[in-house]
Amino acid sequence: ISSVELTQCYVERMTSLNSTYHAYITCCEDLAIDMAKKSDARRQKGNCGILEGIPLAIKDVFCTKGVRTTFSSKMMQNFVPEYSSTVTQRLEQCGGVFLGKTNLDEFCMGSMNTYTLTSPVANPWNTSCVSGGSSGGSAAAVAAGMALGSVGSDTGGSIRQPASFCGIVGVRPTYGRVSRYGMGAFSSSLDQAGPFGRTVEDAAHIFQAICGHDPKDSTSRAIAPPDVLSIIRQSVKGMKVGIPKEFYEASYPEDIRRCWDKSREILEDAGCQTKMVSLPYVSFSLPCYYLIVCAEAASNMARYDGVKYGVRCFGETLEEMYCATRSAGFGPEVKRRIIIGTYILSHGNYDAYYGKATRIRHLIRDDFARIFQDVDILLMPTTPTTTFPFSQAPNDPVTVYLNDVLTVPVNVGGICGISVPCGVSDKGLPLGIQILAPAFEDGRLFQFGSVLE
């Protein structure tokens, strides 16, 4: 099959199904066919990249030169970047074909993909349920067969949680593995791009393509990327798996616990030793995470003032113009985080909130570092519940935040994680199991992930 034929098939699915799932904010049919033609020409010359001709979906937080990039915000609804992110450049260099830009919660703030510029993303397993967020569009696109793979970003779970809700694989690489150049900033010390795939191997190909040092991002690390396509085939026999006791003792629905126990048995059958481990400070990850993200979000959102880019509303004075622009351009969740962030960074509160959160963050990192001297990976569910109907979505933000309890430790702890599908719940909805590996041991995610899928 040629790249053009494959792409045509995905373009057709993307355009016919988008009104049902709302996975894409912008469909780029012409660009996709054009890229596929170029890919076919390369293939004819025997010049193939690792993603040659593969139709991919790109979260609308990655800048794409000449293609509208909205961050799912009214503020940037007509923004057409002059340059491309390193992630999209690398995908293109590896032969990837771009189908379009996927839906997300505004500036990546959210867990249900309901704070969006277009319509909330519906879960392909049951359209009355949420897809998860913030990269819900990228997850739903892959789950619904509207792309072969995709990229998203994970600041506190935004790749792993929607992957789990949509029954696919999602990877949060170690901070510093993938360049953040050209990716809309939400929380600069936690944001990281990563892949979605139907299988661990699909995700490994995309990971391999985007991973590596980039001189344009001073936080990207100059260390050689792991060869995940070979690590994925290595045996896990004799390796050690930790079950975090503090999380195991919490209460979960029966099907989530079953999925956890079943995954543990699969690893034991594959020759792993499993044991309970204690991570006392990791339990504080959630409050620590929300203090840090709100502070960093407030600071990152300051650039959207109506002067350089995006929407501009009228005001008599400069201050009135800022105020009118930001009132009209930002949605409720972004405003909430700006207010919380500004409060905790203000004089008199900084030390009590932000300063304390950064100190706790170090204790969490130390907790992981200590435990990873004893075990190779940690195993736990990705989410405390399966997906749920839009009609049962919590109205109060704090309840929504609490659902991130199992994903945020990876981000705050500076380590890496993968969510792999693990059967279905009693209601027939997908379940996800999560593997956590030490910083820069991203290869282990794929090695163990392929045993569990």
Compute the distance between CA of residue 58 and CA of residue 305 in angstroms, rounded to an integer.
26
| Structure tokens belonging to residue 51 | 């993603």
Question: Measured from the CB atom, is 94 or 129 closer to ligand GLN?
Answer: 129
Annotated catalytic, 251?
no
Question: Measured from the CB atom, is 162 or 225 closer to ligand GLN?
Answer: 162
Compute the distance between CA of residue 276 and CA of residue 263 in angstroms, rounded to an integer.
14
Distances (CA, A) of 245 to 267, 280, 382: 18, 9, 15
Among candidate residues 111, 135, 153, 158, the one labeled active-site is 158
Percent of the chain that is helix, strand, coil (3-state, to 5):
40, 15, 40
**CB of residue 318 vs ligand GLN: minimum separation in angstroms?**
31
DSSP single-letter state for residue 177:
S
- Which residues, at least 6 apart from 434, have a Cβ–Cβ distance to it below 8 Å? 160, 164, 379, 380, 381, 382, 406, 407, 417, 418, 419, 420
Q: How do beta strands 169-172 and 416-424 pair? A: antiparallel
Compute the distance between CA of residue 453 and CA of residue 449 in angstroms, rounded to an integer.
6
**CB of residue 71 vs ligand GLN: minimum separation in angstroms?**
11
Question: Measured from the CB atom, is 232 or 291 closer to ligand GLN?
Answer: 291
Contact between 92 and 99 (Cβ < 8 Å): no
**CB of residue 354 vs ligand GLN: minimum separation in angstroms?**
16
Contact between 237 and 203 (Cβ < 8 Å): no
Question: Measured from the CB atom, is 85 or 155 closer to ligand GLN?
Answer: 155
Question: Measured from the CB atom, is 94 or 410 closer to ligand GLN?
Answer: 410
Contact between 274 and 264 (Cβ < 8 Å): yes
- 3-class state of residue 156 by DSSP: coil
Question: Measured from the CB atom, is 305 or 404 closer to ligand GLN?
Answer: 404
Question: Measured from the CB atom, is 69 or 134 closer to ligand GLN?
Answer: 134
Annotated catalytic, 16?
no
**CB of residue 135 vs ligand GLN: minimum separation in angstroms?**
7
- 3-class state of residue 340 by DSSP: helix
Which residue's Cβ lies closest to ligand GLN?
A: 158
Annotated catalytic, 72?
no
Name the site residues for ligand GLN (rule: CB under 6 A): 108-111, 134, 154-158, 186, 293, 404
| Structure tokens belonging to residue 285 | 């990850």
- Which residues, at least 6 apart from 28, have a Cβ–Cβ distance to it below 8 Å? 67, 98, 99, 100, 101
**CB of residue 187 vs ligand GLN: minimum separation in angstroms?**
8
Among candidate residues 131, 134, 153, 263, the one labeled active-site is 134
**Strand (E) positions, 146-303?**
149-153, 169-172, 193-197, 240-244, 273-277
**What is the residue-wise DSSP string for 353-407?**
IIIHHHHHHHHHHHHHHHHTTT-SEEEEES-SS---BGGG--SSHHHHHHTTTTT
Question: Measured from the CB atom, is 161 or 220 closer to ligand GLN?
Answer: 161
| Partners of residue 377 on adjacent β-strands | 241
**CB of residue 84 vs ligand GLN: minimum separation in angstroms?**
21
Residues belonging to the active site? 59, 134, 158
